């Protein structure tokens, strides 16, 4: 075992036996390899450094954008019903004008439908109004019931239908031709919003059907506003 070790040691230490010309070649190759390795390490260092600077730049650029999105999210989440009662002055089918400024101090039930659902709007409006008359105390509960129909993009036949029914004893329904009240209208359902006496929206729902139980639950909103 010792003999083999010394033999290997001799091979490793026989550098002086290599001819001078070969030594120069080996030294030159070693030096070239070392320089190449050193240059690669330097280049890698600068690449990493530039990448870190770029990543930092990107982070600083993205951070304000993230903050803006987060702020928008928080503002949108502050209230489920952020809107107030819109300011409006609209005519009904008999040219009677209603101005929102005259609703001061009253709770407002605002019920709307698309022009294709005008019959549905009347049906739901009647159910809410007449059932509510048996529940509210008019001396204490100041409530205004308003129905409207969205006439944006309505064909001329709709206006003909409205004109033909002016003489009938239908409940007042406001004609919203410019979409002042109609931004959330959906086809096939009625859209009810309830506003408090200070004109803040406190309730919103869409209905395919309205029954006694529905109206009773709406009355609870009125009752709680008195507390």
Shared domain for 167 and 115, answered yes or no, is: yes
Q: Which of 77, 99, 129 is the endpoint of a domain? A: 77
Shared domain for 6 and 46, answered yes or no, is: yes
Q: Is the dihedral of CA 36, 37, 39, 44 positive or negative?
A: positive
CA distance 46 to 192: 65
Q: What is the pLDDT of residues 28-76, one digit of tens each?
A: 555 556 666 767 676 776 666 565 555 554 454 545 545 544 444 444 4
For 84-90, the CB contacts below 8 A with 24+ separation are 84/195, 84/199, 84/200, 84/201, 85/110, 85/195, 85/199, 85/200, 85/201, 86/180, 86/181, 88/180, 88/181, 90/148, 90/174, 90/175, 90/176, 90/180, 90/181
Write phi, then psi, for 150 (nearest 5 degrees): -80, 110
Structural domain including 58 reads: 2-77
Shared domain for 105 and 196, answered yes or no, is: yes
Shared domain for 33 and 137, answered yes or no, is: no
Count: domains in the chain:
2
Shared domain for 105 and 198, answered yes or no, is: yes
CA distance 127 to 148: 15
Task: List per-block mean pLDDT (blocks of 10 residues) for the chain, which spans 227 residues.
Answer: 43 46 48 64 67 52 50 42 84 96 95 96 96 87 95 95 91 96 96 96 97 97 85
Q: Residue 35, Cα to own-chain centre: how many angstroms?
A: 60
């Amino acid at each position: 075992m010792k003999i083999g070790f010394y033999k290997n040691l001799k091979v490793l230490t026989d550098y002086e036996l290599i001819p001078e010309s070969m030594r120069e070649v080996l030294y030159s190759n070693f030096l070239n390899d070392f320089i190449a390795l050193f240059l690669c390490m330097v280049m890698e260092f600068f690449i990493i450094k530039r990448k870190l600077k770029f990543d930092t730049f990107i982070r600083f650029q993205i951070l304000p954008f993230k903050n803006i999105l987060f702020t928008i999210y928080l503002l949108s989440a502050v209230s489920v019903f952020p809107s107030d009662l819109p300011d409006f002055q609209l005519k009904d089918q008999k040219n009677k004008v209603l101005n929102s400024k005259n609703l001061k101090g009253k709770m407002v039930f605002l019920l709307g439908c698309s022009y294709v659902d005008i019959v549905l709007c009347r049906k739901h409006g009647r159910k809410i109004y007449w059932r509510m008359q048996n529940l509210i105390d008019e001396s204490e509960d100041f409530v205004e019931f308003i129905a409207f129909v969205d006439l944006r993009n309505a064909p001329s036949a709709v206006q003909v239908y409205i004109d033909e029914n002016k003489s009938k004893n239908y409940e007042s329904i406001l004609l919203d031709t410019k979409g002042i009240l109609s931004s959330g209208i959906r086809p096939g359902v009625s859209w009810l919003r309830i506003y408090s006496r200070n004109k803040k929206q406190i309730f919103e729902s869409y209905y395919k059907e309205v029954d006694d139980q529905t109206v009773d639950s709406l009355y609870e909103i009125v009752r709680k506003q008195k507390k």
